[in-house]
Amino acid sequence: MEIKRAVLKVFNSVAYTASIQLAGDYKSMLEEVKVARNIPAAEMLAGRNLGVWFFDDHNTKDTLVIAVYS
């Protein structure tokens, strides 16, 4: 398990998922990343910094946005 930094690109408030770009990785985006429900939708603005928890380093679908900060 590992926590990494990312930047929010798009937030889907219906599915409560996000498209994110990992810090330092300017070529790829992770899409449909689950967002913790305790994070208010109003805080999920494009460009905000995120804390992302990777439960399994080999499976990018097993990730969760756990924090948002500016």
Convert the pLDDT of each residue in 22-60 to its tens digit. Answer: 998 888 899 999 999 999 999 999 999 999 999 998 888
Q: Which residues contact 51 (CB under 8 A, 6 or more apart)?
A: 3, 4, 5, 6, 65, 66, 67, 68, 69
Q: How confident is the model at residue 11 (pLDDT cuts 50, 70, 90)?
A: very high
Rounded-to-integer distance, Cα 26 and Cα 41, Å: 25
State whether residue 42 is helix, strand or coil: helix
Contact 48, 8 (CB under 8 A): yes
Looking at residue 30, what is its pLDDT? 95
| pLDDT of 20 over the 90 cut | yes
Domain 2-69 annotated CATH 2.40.50.140: yes
State whether residue 46 is helix, strand or coil: coil
Mean pLDDT calculated for residue range 7-27? 95
